[in-house]
Chain A
Amino acid sequence: MPYFCGIDIGASAAKLMIVDHQRQPVAKAVRRSGIDYAATARRCLDEALQAAGLTESQIESSTSTGYGRDNVAWACGRMTEIACHGKGAFHFYRRAMTVIDIGAQDSKVIHLDDHGFRTSFRMNRKCAAGTGAFLEEIAYRLDLPLSDLNGLAERSTKESSLGSFCTVFAATEILEKIRSGEKIEDIVKGAFRSVVKRVLEMDTIDGMLVMTGGVAAYNPALVRLIEESFGAAVCVPPDPQLIGALGAALFALEAAEKGPTQC
């Protein structure tokens, strides 16, 4: 049975997904991208192959995506993360939708029609505001593990408002709030709100609203703020952080369906 692999080397994490010929996930791997993307991709592949009990020769085709997409020599094809997040999200819902992907370094708003064709997309500007990098900076400033942010935001009873557009200035604002005795959980919720505001101003939404990416995966409180701000229910597919990798695997499968692939 042939298998298909998608590898998404993001700014922070590398994600890999293997699917079978019926588009069903059979294995996955997530690691920090690190500084040697090629080595990270190889380790992800080995890990997933081992978990699924597969050998590399059973992978008929692979597609790479993400910032490190050019560093995966063994991938037959490559697509942008915009294409892959759209493809992966459409796999689950198969209707016109707006996909919001908040990654470590960029945010994307992707519009798909009811055939899954992309009608438009936006990426954030050259600025970390509205991305996972913003939350990483805030966690650092508050001397907290990144994984604690969601729990804190959930406990907030009074949201702090961050007015600054810029990550660096927002961090300064946070210092001021700490000095004035505001609660950490309220500050964290304010930081989540700041990310949501940056996404809100990127584009309008139409169709169903889907969220993908690492930020949605680990921060349900932020997903709820997105729902609140856009006034629409948000669907989060399984393994939201791996949707780009899934989309890449599906592109690999579709390329193979069109004819033999040459890796």
Chain B
Amino acid sequence: MPPTERKDFETTKKLREVMGNYFADLGRGAAEGKKTAWCTSVGPAELLWALGFNVYFPENHAAMLGASRMATDLIPLANARGFSPDICSYLTSDVGAYLKGESPLQKMKLSGPPKPDVLVFNTNQCRDVKDWFQFYGREFGVPCFGVHTPRSIGPIDDALVDYVGSQIENLVPLLEPIAGQKLDPACLREVIGISKQTTILWKAVLETAANAPSPLSFFDCTVQMGPAVVMRGLKETLAYYEALLAELKQRVAAGVGAVKGERHRIYWEGMPIWGKLSSLGGQFLQLKTCVVASTYCNSWIFEALDPADPFRSMARAYSSIFICRADDRKEAYIEQMVDRFKVDGILYHDSKTCPNNSNNRYGLPQRMQKKLGKPYLVVNGDLNDLRLYSEEQTRTNIEAFVEQLSQG
């Protein structure tokens, strides 16, 4: 098949600058007397920003290790230190990078990730983040605190919000001495307000994909989501997404699709395969099929955030994400997404080392097919460990799936 050109966004040119500034700030932090907190991507980052910390996200770093295809060579180093090849390859690639002293941040003139003064995790995503952060706590000799969110959550009731919210609130006296300052409640409200605005904008960006043709694809979103994850509580993020949203609205008005001649629309369930985004994105372009929506990129929408009720609303927002919900909630969510984005079929990525983000393992695809009458495909791969990925099998599976959508 001839190569098909991917239509990039004008706004993306600003993305490098926005993210570059964020990382530069992290790099200068210690020299400028700023404290650095490491936080899980759906951890209580707002609290950390409000306490004046620079906030660094190891998951973002791990995703960069995956996207730059550095991960596969680094994972064995962590395996040799007792971290199994079967556990999270974000963890193993990030630990491997630490052990080898390599980082994609070195291309941004940083020596590597900024040294932490404290680590804060939330188990809403998985238990692996706890072990990941505790490793660094031991390595750097700094405190590691956690919010222990239950899993398979049904309704977000008061008992749950009390349980998680109180854990977040109880972090305050632990973090204040490290931050060297008292928490200013007004500052926390302001940060949560910015995060809420970021969420609203990011959601609006993603929802432009409900148009046909879709002006953006999952492969665009995995790049565009950077600020929504690592800078969601920072003001400069808002201007970026306002500009992106305006460009997307122009595309919609002009009928410009992310995939030229869009014929089919697919929902991506599960983690990205970071090291193969480019080739997979190219394949979908050739197949005139747009991956219009995903669970993954929608996981940084925190509509429950409320500046008037900081701790409880953070608890509500961070316990509402797809990954920690019960299967009936997940099924209802996918059903809603399929309907909203006019999806023709669902692709489930069975990510070998990420069971919590692999929702095909307990019969959910079969149940969804029965319920929605939409075909599905399971692709076996991994978020970062490309040893678990077969290029040819994936290519054939996707091609055959699109053939199936084209029948009749």
* A82 to B404 Cα, complex, angstroms: 10
Measured between C-beta atoms, what is the minimum distance from A250 to chain B in Å? 14
Most B Cβ at <10 Å: residue of A81, A106, A117, A126? A126
Which of A67, A83, A115, A117 interacts with B400 by CB under 8 Å? Answer: A83
Q: Is the CB of B403 within 8 A of A125?
A: no
B222 on the interface (CB 8 Å rule)? no
Q: Is the CB of B396 within 8 A of A120?
A: no
A229 on the interface (CB 8 Å rule)? no
Q: Which residue of B lies closest to A110 (CB)?
A: B400
Q: Which residue of B lies closest to A79 (CB)?
A: B403
B79 on the interface (CB 8 Å rule)? no
Tell me whether A82 and B390 are in contact in the complex, defined as CB-CB below 8 angstroms, given that A117-B407, A120-B375 are known contacts: no
Residues of A within 8 A of B407 (CB): 117-118
B408 on the interface (CB 8 Å rule)? yes
Within 8 A of A (CB), among B356-393: 369, 375-376, 378, 380, 388-390, 392-393
Residue-wise interface mask of B (189-228) relative to A, using a CB-CB cutoff of 8 A (1 in contact, 0 not)? 0000000000000000000000000000000000000000
Q: Which residue of B lies closest to A66 (CB)?
A: B396
Measured between C-beta atoms, what is the minimum distance from A80 to chain B in Å? 4
Q: Is the CB of B393 within 8 A of A118?
A: no
Q: Is the CB of A126 within 8 A of B380?
A: yes
B242 on the interface (CB 8 Å rule)? no
Q: Which range holds the interface residue count of chain B?
A: 10 to 19
Q: Which residue of B lies closest to A82 (CB)?
A: B400
Measured between C-beta atoms, what is the minimum distance from A75 to chain B in Å? 12
Q: Is the CB of A123 within 8 A of B396?
A: yes
Tell me whether A80 and B380 are in contact in the complex, defined as CB-CB below 8 angstroms, given that A120-B375, A126-B389, A126-B390 are known contacts: no
A22 on the interface (CB 8 Å rule)? no
* A79 to B376 Cα, complex, angstroms: 19
Number of interchain pairs (Cβ within 8 Å): 38
Within 8 A of B (CB), among A66-116: 67, 70, 79-83, 106, 115
Measured between C-beta atoms, what is the minimum distance from B358 to chain A in Å? 13
Residues of A within 8 A of B404 (CB): 118, 120-121
Q: Which residue of A lies closest to B398 (CB)?
A: A80
Residues of B within 8 A of A262 (CB): none
Tell me whether A83 and B393 are in contact in the complex, defined as CB-CB below 8 angstroms, given that A120-B375, A126-B380 are known contacts: no
Residues of A within 8 A of B303 (CB): none
Q: Is the CB of B393 within 8 A of A126?
A: yes
Measured between C-beta atoms, what is the minimum distance from A34 to chain B in Å? 17
Q: Is the CB of A80 within 8 A of B390?
A: no
Q: Is the CB of A121 within 8 A of B380?
A: no
* A67 to B390 Cα, complex, angstroms: 13
Measured between C-beta atoms, what is the minimum distance from A173 to chain B in Å? 22
B262 on the interface (CB 8 Å rule)? no
Chain A binding surface, main DSSP class = mixed
* A82 to B397 Cα, complex, angstroms: 9
Q: Is the CB of B380 within 8 A of A81?
A: no
* A55 to B369 Cα, complex, angstroms: 48
Q: Is the CB of A123 within 8 A of B375?
A: no
Tell me whether A117 and B388 are in contact in the complex, defined as CB-CB below 8 angstroms, given that A81-B396, A82-B396, A83-B400 are known contacts: no
Which of A80, A118, A126 interacts with B399 by CB under 8 Å? Answer: A80
* A67 to B392 Cα, complex, angstroms: 7
Q: Is the CB of B403 within 8 A of A83?
A: yes
A57 on the interface (CB 8 Å rule)? no
* A244 to B24 Cα, complex, angstroms: 56
Q: Is the CB of B389 within 8 A of A121?
A: no
A119 on the interface (CB 8 Å rule)? yes
Measured between C-beta atoms, what is the minimum distance from A172 to chain B in Å? 20
Q: Which residue of A lies closest to B406 (CB)?
A: A83
Which of B1, B376, B403 interacts with A80 by CB under 8 Å? Answer: B403
Residues of A within 8 A of B389 (CB): 126
Residues of A within 8 A of B376 (CB): 120
Q: Which residue of B lies closest to A67 (CB)?
A: B392
Measured between C-beta atoms, what is the minimum distance from A167 to chain B in Å? 15
Residues of B within 8 A of A82 (CB): 396, 400, 403
Residues of A within 8 A of B369 (CB): 120
Q: Is the CB of A125 within 8 A of B380?
A: yes
Tell me whether A123 and B393 are in contact in the complex, defined as CB-CB below 8 angstroms, given that A80-B399, A83-B403 are known contacts: yes
Measured between C-beta atoms, what is the minimum distance from A245 to chain B in Å? 16
Measured between C-beta atoms, what is the minimum distance from B282 to chain A in Å? 14
* A83 to B400 Cα, complex, angstroms: 7
Q: Is the CB of B408 within 8 A of A123?
A: no
Residues of A within 8 A of B1 (CB): 70
Measured between C-beta atoms, what is the minimum distance from A122 to chain B in Å? 8
Q: Which residue of B lies closest to A122 (CB)?
A: B378
Most A Cβ at <10 Å: residue of B376, B378, B390, B408? B390
Tell me whether A117 and B408 are in contact in the complex, defined as CB-CB below 8 angstroms, given that A81-B396, A126-B389 are known contacts: yes
* A106 to B408 Cα, complex, angstroms: 27
Q: Which residue of A lies closest to B382 (CB)?
A: A126
* A82 to B393 Cα, complex, angstroms: 11
Residues of A within 8 A of B399 (CB): 80
Measured between C-beta atoms, what is the minimum distance from B377 to chain A in Å? 8
Measured between C-beta atoms, what is the minimum distance from B283 to chain A in Å? 12
* A115 to B408 Cα, complex, angstroms: 10
Measured between C-beta atoms, what is the minimum distance from B387 to chain A in Å? 9
Q: Is the CB of B375 within 8 A of A80?
A: no
* A46 to B369 Cα, complex, angstroms: 45
Measured between C-beta atoms, what is the minimum distance from B312 to chain A in Å? 44
* Chain B residues near A (Cβ < 8 Å): 1, 369, 375-376, 378, 380, 388-390, 392-393, 396-397, 399-400, 403-404, 407-408
* Chain A residues near B (Cβ < 8 Å): 67, 70, 79-83, 106, 115, 117-123, 125-126
Given contacts A81-B396, A82-B403, 16 further A-B contacts (CB under 8 A): A67-B392, A79-B403, A80-B399, A82-B396, A106-B393, A115-B408, A118-B407, A119-B375, A120-B375, A120-B376, A120-B404, A121-B404, A123-B397, A126-B380, A126-B388, A126-B389
A-B contact pairs, 15 of them (CB 8 A): A70-B1, A80-B396, A82-B396, A115-B408, A117-B407, A117-B408, A118-B404, A118-B407, A119-B375, A120-B376, A120-B404, A122-B378, A123-B397, A126-B380, A126-B390
Pairs A-B, 3 closest by C-beta atoms: A126-B390, A82-B400, A80-B400
